[in-house]
Amino acid sequence: MNDVAAGLGLAVGATIADARARHPDLAVEPHDPAADHALLVAVADACDRFTPLVALDPPDGVMLDITGCAHLFGGEAALARGVAGLAATRGLSARVALADTPGCAFAVARHGRAGGAPLVVPPGGQREALLRLPLAALRLAPERVAALAAVGLTHVADVIDLPRASVAARFDGLLDRLDAALGHLHTPITPRRPMPDLMTEQSLAEPVMLERDVLSTIERLAGRLARVLENRGEGARKLEAALFRTDGRVFRIAVGTGAPVRDPERIARLFADRLAVGEPCDPGFGYDLVRLSALATEPAGPVQTGLDANAADTVALDHLIDRLGVRFGARRVTRQVPQDTHVPESCCAALPAQARPRPVLPAAAEAEFLVDGLGPERPLRLLERPEPVEAVAEVPDGPPVRFRWRRVLHEVAAAEGPERLALPWWCTADAPPPTRDYFRVETRLGVRLWLFREGLYGRETPRPRWFLHGLFG
């Protein structure tokens, strides 16, 4: 029910038939809780310009923790007027109250005087502000309020000075609500978004609409962050730019990096790439506030480099990976990481390039894995899945003499092997996987292939199967 309906004397809970009997022209719309919640979220997004600590207070409230923020807007009263004015620009009427505790602010906003300017409870004035309010202002359940009214207790002033022992014995939870509103019990809010590690913002005297102006502002803000990050010996791994439109709508653009960064030009370039891929940011009548936040930071101390250009190449490669991740998505840009296993199809894993996974193999073992002069030669090209072939061998455990692959018959001119691999039996709940015997074969046409026989003849299976797993150069 809106304020106009309340002014006609209607009350929440009345039936539509009774309401229309009193006012035949009454407008009625079906209730849409999802749309109401979306509107509340939009209002909370708009309130992010006042403080990063904004919490939802369903079904129709927003709670702001403005500790340390009021002086940026000319004081608490000016900040409260700014919140009310922002709601008015969206066509909403808001009841705004400021107090030392969330409970007192809730009570005064919802049950204080209606209309007029926002209410600001002076520091330490919670008791005086609560005395004249009904007990429903303490967020008590309706049945609890009815039970209190039955014994003549209707306002906060009726219970605030009663003996605490008797109140606690008869009305469970009442003292907790009262202490929370008075500030005797700490009750923090739960912000919608986590508090960023670092944050800087720029209020613009004139709204900007051009992309180059937005990017130049982001680069200036990144320069501010860079100085703080350098003093802390850190770099940013995830950054978010929030663009506040003049009508209260907020657009958020997030970018991630594979290594800690604090170079303003690199940061601005990442956001430029993100905008280039069509990030939906309609400027409308322009942005009047731009905020840059470092959502995640990591230590990034000075790095000792050599006299060659490898270090510079590494930085350039990291920046390239970050830009590709911004354009195509971090999950689509991968790197091959060696794994500690001898199973060919599992020896390398494609992991996100920005994830910077810890090497599974030590450096020396990884070098031996990549170039092993003592081990058997492995093919340069490995099929994603081994393909079955029809093979004939002179003896059951020997190499093939001919085989058919993709409907083409191949005669084997030379063969080397076997290289026996036992698959990890501890990774399967059923029977252990069959053993593989790998052979390096060369056909009469000069094609060099990598085949394996699955299953030991007579011990694991009466009819082993053949597969082609790779091709040499």
| Dihedral angle over CA of 69, 73, 79, 85, nearest 10 | -140
User: Does one domain contain both 67 and 150?
Assistant: yes
Q: How far does CA 5 lie from the centroid of its chain?
A: 41
Residue type at 434 in one-letter notation: P
Cα gap 183→201, rounded to integer Å: 32
Whose structure tokens read 């739960």?
190
What pLDDT shows up at residue 79?
93
* 357 and 242 inside one domain: no
Same domain as 419, residue 340: no
C-alpha 210: how far from chain center: 28
273 assigned to some structural domain: yes
What's the CA gap between 296 and 294, in Å, rounded?
Answer: 6
Looking at the structure, do residues 386 and 464 belong to the same domain, yes or no? Answer: yes
Output the pLDDT for position 195.
87
- Of 149, 182, 215, which residue constitutes the final position of a domain? 182
Pairing of strands 334-338, 54-57: unpaired
Same domain for 415 and 465? yes
In a domain, residue 22? The reply is no
- Residue 460's identity, in one-letter code, is E
Instruction: Identify whether residues 36 and 176 lie together within a single domain.
Output: yes
Residue 3's pLDDT is 77
Exposure of 300 in the CB half-sphere (CA atoms within 13 A): 19
User: Hey, CA dihedral for 385, 389, 394, 397, is it positive or negative?
Assistant: positive
Q: How far apart are CA 345 and CA 436, in angstroms?
A: 13
Instruction: Give pLDDT, residue 120.
Output: 93
| Domains: count for the chain | 4
CATH code where residue 228 lies: 3.30.1490.100
Range of the structural domain that residue 237 is part of: 198-302
Q: Which residue has the tokens 């069509």?
A: 278
d(CA 417, CA 292): 61
Q: Which residues pair with 404 in a beta bridge?
A: 390, 409
Please give the pLDDT value at position 11: 87
Residue 230, CA atoms < 13 Å, CB-side half-sphere: 9
Cα(448)–Cα(470) distance, integer angstroms: 9
Structure-block tokens of residue 347: 């020896």
Biggest alpha carbon–alpha carbon distance for the chain? 104
Is 7 part of any domain? no
Q: What is the 3-state secondary structure (H, E, C) of the chain?
A: CCHHHHHCCCCCCCCHHHHHHHCCCCCCCCCCHHHHHHHHHHHHHHHCCCCCCEEEECCCEEEECCCCCHHHHCCHHHHHHHHHHHHHHCCCCCCCEECCCHHHHHHHHHHCCCCCCCEECCCCCHHHHHHCCEHHHHCCCHHHHHHHHHCCCCEHHHHCCCCHHHHHHHCCCHHHHHHHHHCCCCCCCCCCCCCCCEEEEEEEEEEECCHHHHHHHHHHHHHHHHHHHHHHCEEEEEEEEEEEECCCCEEEEEEEEEEEECCHHHHHHHHHHHHHCCCCCCCCCCEEEEEEEEEEEEECCCCCCCCCCHHHHHHHHHHHHHHHHHHHCHHHCEEEEECCCCCHHHCEEEEEHHHCCCCCCCHHHHHHHHCCCCCCCCCCEEEEEEEEEEEEECCCCCCEEEEEECCEEEEEEEEEEEEEECCCHHHCCCCCCCCEEEEEEEECCCCEEEEEEECCECCCECCCEEEEEEECC
Instruction: Indicate whether 253 and 165 sit together in one domain.
Output: no
Q: Say which residues have a Cβ less than 8 Å from residue 6's Cβ, sequence separation at least 6.
A: none
CB neighbourhood size of 99 (10 A): 24
Comparing CA positions, the residue from 358, 280, 277, 273 lying closest to residue 322 is 273
| Phi-psi category of residue 207: left, alpha or beta, with phi > 0 → left and psi -120 to 50 → alpha | beta
Model pLDDT, residue 345: 84
Is 296 within the bounds of a domain? Answer: yes
Which positions of the chain have pLDDT values less than 70? 115, 303-312, 356-375, 427-429
The values of phi and psi at residue 422, to 5°, are: -100, 125
Task: Please tell me whether residues 55 and 173 are part of one structural domain.
Answer: yes
134 and 242 share one domain: no
Q: Are residues 258 and 152 in the same domain?
A: no
Same domain for 356 and 401, yes or no, is: no
**Does any domain span residue 172?**
yes
Q: Does 307 map to a domain?
A: no
With beta carbons less than 8 A apart as the criterion, state whether 156 and 135 touch: yes
Instruction: Report pLDDT for 344.
Output: 87
Q: What is the pLDDT of residues 275-317, one digit of tens each?
A: 888 778 888 899 999 999 999 999 987 766 665 555 567 788 8
